[in-house]
A and B are shown apart, each in its own frame.
Chain A
């Protein structure tokens, strides 16, 4: 489990999130991830911002990089860092049309 921190923020400033050292920020507005493909380095923080009007639940079942950020209310942000190199399928457990591939490099 690579779950880092889950925090509820009172407000967003231009979509950026100050609570995390965000190497990458993903928006979820309109029930879509702002990126369908993302390349990161091992250990970098990916911040998922719920700037949508309903709850989401970001997770992955990709072996070696499994994580579950739990139910994320509108206005909340959650961060994850992935530790194993390779392609990681990330989805919203509630809304499976929301999906993206994160490529983790060494």
Chain B
């Protein structure tokens, strides 16, 4: 993987992308002096180090970053003409206005038909191991064309998409500049969109400032929440690391009939009703929650984990009823809210005609 330096990590604008350089930055960990109840002071520094945000965005060797490619990808990402009805773009369901989701319980596709699952955020997709709620895409490049082609989503067969984009004169020179050999192909469309998506990284949040040593950045309640998150709450068993995900699949005992990853791996019992752990960056902006949008608030999410969900053979061994008080629930929610950044507005690109 190739990385580019990212100090701002909110690079949705051209100006932001310009701020990136090709160097890989290194730096030492900041020293902190505070302690968190229920976590040994000696261990807190080690624990906090696990949550330090990276300075670089990884890009695959097979699709390296360029400013022009990301800019082309942004145009494609926001272009509703990639849908059969000229009404839906990638940004319709993965909108910067809603933490790069859509704020709906479930996505809405072609002809305003409701889809089966909540639109996942694309924030920090650059750091993902596997994509879609059920992991059926192994890369962003592989994923990018899926919703465009899907008849229930953007309903655009690839052949039709190519014809349509070729009929927009200003697109061809952009592709030629970025991909001199290939020009406009389904693969270069996917590579461009994937490159843009990788630049969508969550901004610095109060949590990051605290991790780096600013004890005043988050409340005492949130600090207690951090101890619970890594202690008896067990949140870190799945929502691990700076992006708060293990990129893994777990049945957390929700009641809908969707078997999730089980459709890909029907012979693996633990994959039935299992969905990929979502990251928790910008989580305050991303409700309603869960793969089916069935839980309205972060408080209700906590209640679900306290109850432990439906006990069935596929349920993750990590899911079990928790003994958490109302105050502890509130502390965990206070922590989650420190994961929201003071995010900059995203500019919408002028599209080729």
Interface residues of A (CB under 8 A from B): 31, 54-55, 57, 59, 61, 68, 70-71, 73, 93-97
Other-chain contact of B246, A57, A61, A70, A97 (Cβ < 8 Å): A97
Inter-subunit contact A95/B248 (CB<8 Å): yes
With A94-B249, A95-B248 in contact, is A68–B318 under 8 Å at CB? no
Inter-subunit contact B318/A57 (CB<8 Å): no
Inter-subunit contact A93/B246 (CB<8 Å): no
Distance in Å: Cβ of A39 to nearest Cβ of chain B: 25
Most buried by A among B135, B247, B265, B270: B270
Other-chain contact of A94, B129, B248, B267 (Cβ < 8 Å): B248
Inter-subunit contact A54/B237 (CB<8 Å): yes
Inter-subunit contact B270/A97 (CB<8 Å): no
Interface SS majority for chain A = loop
Distance in Å: Cβ of A91 to nearest Cβ of chain B: 10
Task: Give the docked Cα–Cα distance between A59 and B265 (Å).
Answer: 10
Distance in Å: Cβ of B260 to nearest Cβ of chain A: 12
With A59-B268, A93-B268 in contact, is A31–B317 under 8 Å at CB? no
Interface SS majority for chain B = loop
Other-chain contact of A57, B129, B130, B268 (Cβ < 8 Å): B268
* B250 in contact (CB, < 8 A): yes
Task: Give the docked Cα–Cα distance between A68 and B129 (Å).
Answer: 21
Inter-subunit contact A54/B318 (CB<8 Å): yes
Chain B 242-262: CB-based contact to A (< 8 A → 1; otherwise 0)? 000011111000000000010
List 18 A-B pairs, Cβ < 8 Å: A55-B270, A57-B268, A57-B270, A59-B265, A59-B268, A68-B268, A70-B268, A71-B269, A93-B261, A94-B248, A94-B249, A94-B270, A94-B271, A94-B274, A95-B246, A96-B129, A96-B130, A97-B246
Task: Give the docked Cα–Cα distance between A6 and B270 (Å).
Answer: 16
- Residues from chain B with a CB closer than 8 A to the CB of A59 are 265, 268
- Residues from chain A with a CB closer than 8 A to the CB of B271 are 57, 93-94
How many B residues face the partner with a CB closer than 8 A? Answer: 20
- Which chain B residue lies CB-closest to A93? B268
With A57-B270, A71-B269, A71-B270 in contact, is A97–B317 under 8 Å at CB? no
- Residues from chain A with a CB closer than 8 A to the CB of B269 are 70-71
- Which chain B residue lies CB-closest to A57? B270
Distance in Å: Cβ of B251 to nearest Cβ of chain A: 10
Task: Give the docked Cα–Cα distance between A54 and B265 (Å).
Answer: 20
Task: Give the docked Cα–Cα distance between A57 and B205 (Å).
Answer: 35
- Residues from chain A with a CB closer than 8 A to the CB of B316 are 55, 94
Distance in Å: Cβ of A56 to nearest Cβ of chain B: 10
The A-contacting residues of B in range 94-151, CB under 8 angstroms, are 129-130, 135
Task: Give the docked Cα–Cα distance between A51 and B130 (Å).
Answer: 25
Task: Give the docked Cα–Cα distance between A55 and B267 (Å).
Answer: 17
Distance in Å: Cβ of A30 to nearest Cβ of chain B: 11
- Which chain B residue lies CB-closest to A69? B268
- Which chain B residue lies CB-closest to A98? B248
- Which chain B residue lies CB-closest to A53? B237
Other-chain contact of A97, B248, B267, B268, B318 (Cβ < 8 Å): B248
Most buried by B among A54, A70, A93: A93
Chain B 211-249: CB-based contact to A (< 8 A → 1; otherwise 0)? 000000000000000000000000001000000001111
Inter-subunit contact A96/B317 (CB<8 Å): no
- Residues from chain A with a CB closer than 8 A to the CB of B130 are 96
With A55-B317, A73-B317 in contact, is A96–B247 under 8 Å at CB? yes
Distance in Å: Cβ of A67 to nearest Cβ of chain B: 10
- Which chain A residue lies CB-closest to B237? A54
Task: Give the docked Cα–Cα distance between A59 and B270 (Å).
Answer: 12
Distance in Å: Cβ of A45 to nearest Cβ of chain B: 22
Task: Give the docked Cα–Cα distance between A61 and B318 (Å).
Answer: 25
Inter-subunit contact A31/B246 (CB<8 Å): yes
Task: Give the docked Cα–Cα distance between A7 and B114 (Å).
Answer: 46
Distance in Å: Cβ of B319 to nearest Cβ of chain A: 11
- Residues from chain A with a CB closer than 8 A to the CB of B249 are 93-94, 96
